[in-house]
Amino acid sequence: MINDLLNKRTKIVATISDKNCEPDFLRQLFEAGMDVVRVNSAHLDPEGAKKIISNARSVSDKISVILDTKGPEIRTTICDEPLKFLKGQSVKIAGHSDEKTTLQVINVNYRDIAMFVPTGVYILIDDGELEIKITEKDGDILVGRIENDGVLGSRKTVNIPQVRINLPSVSERDLTFIDLAVKLDVEFIAHSFVRSKEDVLAVQKLLDSHDSKIKIIAKIENQQGVDNLEEIMDNCYAIMVARGDLAIEVPFERIPGIQRAIIGKCIEKRKPVIVATQMLHSMITNPRPTRAEVSDVANAVYSQTDAVMLSGETAAGKYPLESVRTMTKIACEIEGEKDQYIEMPAGSLSGEVSAYLAKVAVKTSIRINARTILADTVNGTAIRNMAAFRGIKPIVALCYSYRTMRELSLSYGVIPVYMEKKQSVDEFIRVSLRDLLSKHDLNDNDIIVVLAGNFSRAAGFSFIEVGTVEYLKERVRISESDLMA
């Protein structure tokens, strides 16, 4: 119901494992507030990804799917069991990708690692859980000293701060999963470790070769990505602030400022933005979050991000449902504290007239305390333009394609609904209002802002009307019997 949907404007992305992805489980997460399913290709095979996506589609056609690529990253190889390293221990690091990692040799998936890593630098594994200082080289093998007690599992990320390594934009594994994403027609590919626009364009070229409509989310998780943010934003659909690796590559005290700046720039450029990594990390093993985690999620919501993301909490944790519910409660509480609206230029994503009407609709809905905004869309551009103003009234987006409906599940304050394309303003109002009234509890004196025009030859909004439910029902001749049908 509209009453329920008004409570959460910030969207929730939940990472799902093929080990726990049954439809009943996904349905529970969806009903608790999950909007988007994330599939991390670094931790499963193609069959596992197919299983997750198929089950998500069976739960609701409104759930969109993000498939993560590994991108230009280095990871450790598998190990037979978690390995416990002790401070002061000596260990070798080698690029033998087909060999297992042991207590004696940590193998990684990059053959030439010794060529680029000098002595004296620190290698950080698994978001800094294990720190190793490189003391010498032995041919193509690095030798280091363990700097802290730690446990190492399989396929963990490897960061080498301040060292630039010549890695390809797209790995062989990425090619496999990008092909899979095209075949399964997912909505988004989140490309990891984006350093510049070239990394985004490399993925876009592959998608274009398949004539795919998949949108690219650029994951910002290193200094190069931060430095080149503007050009990256100009070439992708959305941005993910991936704070785990970012906090390793960049001094940790800079992360809050970087996060806030990226969110601000994304809002200004009408790019959806996701804040990710360890938001409720303690809930992997505990039923309640820490106070610091609550504040972390709250700060992201205060900054008006489009979405917040759960990783291990829902992929491998003991309390996945509780994690989604907790995130929903925090978002609802923060969003309800104050009215909000970001004053900025109308923008130009969908044309000058359409952009101006979008801004007017949001401001009007707030000033007259409208119940909702009804708007139609072909590709979602005008809706994203409207969502960027971060108005407090829900935008019910009537989408003329299922893909657009699912893409908008990532946008702030938008309730996407599929509708067959209409031929006139009156037909659009009649069908959309009838559907709204049949599903949600609205009074005759509730005010609705109607924004439409995508059924005409020109894309974007060309028509705006404001009226009460009673007035609009009379205007397009909706009777009580129509609502009962």
What pLDDT digit, counting tens, does each position of 233-271 carry?
A: 999 999 999 998 898 888 889 999 999 999 999 999 999
pLDDT score of 182:
97
Give the model confidence (pLDDT) of 149-176 as tens digits. 999 999 998 999 878 888 888 988 899 9
Looking at residue 455, its pLDDT comes to: 64
Of 478, 389, 390, 372, the C-alpha closest to 431 is 478
Q: Regarding beta strands 130-138 and 122-125, do their DSSP bridges make them parallel or antiparallel, or are they unpaired?
A: antiparallel
Mean pLDDT estimate for the chain: 92
pLDDT for 104 equals 96
CA 299/CA 260 separation, integer angstroms? 9
Residue 484 has a pLDDT of 65
pLDDT band at 48 (very low <50, low <70, confident <90, very high): very high
Taken in order of first residue, the domains within the chain and their CATH numbers are 2-71+169-335 (3.20.20.60), 74-159 (2.40.33.10), 352-484 (3.40.1380.20)
Given pLDDT bands bounded at 50, 70 and 90, which one contains residue 476?
A: confident
Residues labelled as active-site residues:
38, 75, 219, 277
Confidence of residue 73 (pLDDT cuts 50, 70, 90): confident
What b/e string do you get for 425-441 counting C-beta neighbours within 10 Å, with b at 16 or more? Answer: beebbbbbbbbbbeebe
Categorize the per-residue pLDDT at 1 as very low, low, confident or very high, splitting at 50, 70 and 90. very low
pLDDT above 90 for 446: yes
**For residues 315 and 317, what is the distance between their CA atoms, to the nearest angstrom?**
6
